[in-house]
Amino acid sequence: MAPSESIRIEVGDGTVSGAFARPADAFATLVVAPGAGSGFDHPFLVGFARAMSAAGVATLRFNFPYREAGRRLPDRAPRAVEAWQAALAVAAARSPAEPVWAGGKSYGGRMASMAAAEGMPAAGLVFLGYPLHPPGKPEALRDAHLYGIDLPMLFLQGTRDPFSGPAELTPVVARIGRAATVQWIDGANHSFETRGAKRAPADVGASLAPAVADFVRANRA
């Protein structure tokens, strides 16, 4: 397993924490951002990154500026997009021979898609629980920007996710077109926990890595 290197990423006039891990046999790099309620060192994200490394994908995890500053309210989209652009640029500089993908848990993945919609040069997108709408408000879809993105997209989603279940996400993925794929985790909620299965967050994150690695490998240019 590749060791993780602590790094600092310049975002505007400040910096944020990050961690980069590159296996010797890396065929791609995935920049992955945390959800709104956690940081880059959350066990779910660490477990996911370690499993991706074992599968041959380098990873860069990073904090958003609000988290780095100790605030609870997530950054607005322009600031989050700025952080994403900076993180992807750092990953690209460290991965000159491999495609660089972008993704994340919930808010982190949605902000990656907004950055891609604004032209961030990612090779593809991976969503670990896409927050398509606020819980209990399926009419308030956050999907408009997705239809202008011409990149491979993988949605990993629990069938019990209150931020988007099959009834809401399936038609959105169909409308995006052939570039998008959704894989449902039966019985999983927004944290990918399932009833009757007690697992540590790191193990939950790691369990998603094989599907992501397979998708990235299958969509190499």
Residue 139 buriedness (CB in 10 A; 0-12 / 13-18 / 19+): exposed
User: Using an 8 Å Cβ cutoff, are 48 and 205 in contact?
Assistant: yes
pLDDT per residue as tens digits for the range 47-97:
999 999 999 999 999 999 999 999 999 999 999 999 999 999 999 999 988
Domains of the chain by range and CATH?
4-218 (3.40.50.1820)
pLDDT per residue as tens digits for the range 171-210:
999 999 999 999 999 999 999 999 887 899 999 999 999 9
Name the maximum alpha-carbon separation found in the chain: 47
CA distance 100 to 87: 11
pLDDT per residue as tens digits for the range 87-139:
999 999 999 889 999 999 999 999 999 999 999 999 999 999 999 999 999 99
Q: Are strands 14-21 and 4-11 parallel, antiparallel or unpaired?
A: antiparallel
* pLDDT tier, 220 (very low <50, low <70, confident <90, very high otherwise): confident
